[in-house]
Amino acid sequence: MSNAKFFESHQLHFIRERLVEIDDSHWPMLSTLQLKDPTTSLIVSILAGNLGIDRFIIGDTGLGIGKLLTCGGLGIWAIVDWFMIQKATREKNLQKIQHLLY
């Protein structure tokens, strides 16, 4: 699993099983799927988390606007997101790949 860092460790088993089960017609879509790197979103979160840019990048536009409008949730949400953003990115990646696995 060379893409293991894009997903939560407990999701890997499920993804692997699904990949083995599905037929080859899914392969072109799967191989070109763009996944978000959790490390990148962590860097963005540390540098520009107060403006909600980390949330915009992973596709959580609603939460991004919320963060932008409240100065990063009065600074508290921005700090909480330093620890949450990697998990959120991995979950977004799972949502993305799930569309292709069925």
Partner 1 sequence: MVNNRNRLYSLLLIACIAGYIWTFLNMHETHNAHLPMQVCMFKYVTDIPCPSCGATRSIIAALTGHYLTALTINPIGFIIALIMLCAPLWVIVDLLRGSSSLFNFYRKMELRLQKPQYSIPMVALVLINWVWNINKGL
Query: Which residue ranges make up the site for partner 1 (CB under 8 A)?
Result: 50-51, 59-63, 65-66, 68-75, 78, 88, 91-92, 95
- Phi and psi at 3, nearest 5°, equal -100, 20
Residue 15 vs 85, nearer CB to partner 1? 85
Q: How far is the CB of 85 from partner 1 (least distance, A)?
A: 10
Q: How far is the CB of 99 from partner 1 (least distance, A)?
A: 13
Residue 44 vs 78, nearer CB to partner 1? 78
Q: How far is the CB of 20 from partner 1 (least distance, A)?
A: 26
